[in-house]
Homo-oligomer: A and B are copies of this chain.
Amino acid sequence: MTVLIQNAHILTMDHRREIVGGALLVREGKIAFVGEERDLPAQTKADRVIDARGGVVMPGFINAHTHLAMTLLRGYGSDLNLQDWLFQKIFPAEDRLLPGDCGAAGDLGIAEMLLGGTTAFLDMYMFMEETAEAVKRSGIRAVLSRGLTAGDAFEEKLAEAVRLHTDWHDTCDGRIRVMLCVHAEYTNNEQTVRRIAEEAKKLGVGIHVHVSETDSETKGCLERHGVTPAQWLDSLGVFDGPAVAAHCVWLTPQDEELFARKGVSVVHNPGSNMKLASGVCPVQELLNRGVNVALGTDGASSNNTLNMQKEVYLAALLGKLSALDPTAVDAYTALEMATVRGAKALGIDDVCGVLREGMDADLILFDTCAPWWSPVSDAAAQVVYAASQEDIRLTMVRGEILMEDRVVKTVNVAAAKAAVEHAVEHLYE
């Protein structure tokens, strides 16, 4: 199937190339043409022609840090402090998880992401095979990592993580990839981290890890090990291959320098960090040092959504506020964090993250009929500061239209909601 999108304002996110009066042709899942409409080869034919009506076409959002199945715990215990929230609400509920719960949450969370223009995500959680099945049936793209913590069952869980790689890595026409995961410094020890780093090296995959989310985590690590979480993880080999460090709120300048030197990608989670009052990731400083910074929602338990548009908006606003500089984290930079930089973090920038000929067609279309789209001086600023989720008219992954006119094609939303609400009966107290 070929799809031609015409009459579009295209933010390619490819070296800030912006095309007014643009056209984009999708053939066999890939971008066959992107450019000005007048440059489209004369005999171009398509099975389907979509008039963008002047709307904005851009790469889909890449949610670079989430816990999809925590959609089960959406908003469970809002407005509590982190310790009460984790120990009184989240951990007891997780102990009551049953097989099937995470699959249902996967369907629901993916539907939400497709409605929000997300075309790929990086996940960390348990029951990861259920999440993989949900990704497979939905058509979305994902990089999956099984959360690993020290404990009696560590080797069993690590074997599970390796099996996830064997069974799922580079499956579904490359839509699914697998990474390893160190949950965090405070839930692991020297031995478990070394084992994970070894296995990652053997498999040739990256490592996904929580780093310095809170002040107390960072201070605790200094007490336990005499160094910061970033330095401790580095000493055990976590950053010797590709790595994705989520949160990174309480980094030292030495940590920032380390990440720049080792090419570690950082994932900023402004919604979750603000809601839990964890603090602010030093985004502009990291960018200034040349660190790749991506964006994520974290889990719906602490967010309470999987809406990347909100994160883009918060990243731009919080970047300015925390620097007391209105030119910090400008609109284009925030969009890069949510697209091309996300692709780089996930190691999928060979196939997506920008709109360029030969790349997979992972893209979204914003309709611009609503009042808040007038007047428009700058399309990127408009997407970041003014667009509403309802403006997202189409979400496409590898050339397949997965959401159109606010209807998800590949998930039965009502059934997923019913299944999640059923699960909640045994999860919540």
Contacts and interface: CB of A to CB of B under 8 A. Distances in A.
Contacts of A310: 313
A323 B375 contact: no
A319 to B, nearest CB: 9
Contacts of A331: 78-79
Contact of A304 (B79, B381, B420): B381
23 contacts: A75-B381, A75-B386, A76-B377, A78-B377, A78-B385, A79-B331, A81-B326, A271-B317, A274-B317, A275-B326, A277-B323, A280-B321, A300-B386, A303-B385, A303-B386, A304-B381, A306-B372, A310-B313, A371-B413, A374-B420, A375-B421, A375-B428, A388-B390
A346 interface: no
Contacts of A279: 321, 324
Interface stretch (A107-115, A135-143, A182-190): A107-115
Given A321-B274, A372-B307, A326 B75 contact: no
A429 B324 CA distance: 28
A150 B80 CA distance: 48
Given A326-B277, A381-B79, A428-B377, A371 B112 contact: yes
A385 B406 CA distance: 20
A77 interface: yes
A417 interface: yes
Interface in A312-332: 313-314, 316-318, 320-321, 323-328, 330-331
Given A75-B386, A389-B390, A80 B371 contact: no
A331 to B, nearest CB: 6
Interface string A369-397: 11110111110011001101110000000
Q: How many of chain A's residues touch chain B, expressed as a range?
A: 35 or more
B371 A417 contact: yes
B80 A326 contact: yes
A389 B388 CA distance: 7
A82 B327 CA distance: 10
Contacts of A424: 375
A305 B313 CA distance: 12
A235 to B, nearest CB: 30
B372 A318 contact: no
B325 A372 contact: no
Nearest to A313: B310
A24 B74 CA distance: 29
Interface in A56-79: 72, 74-79
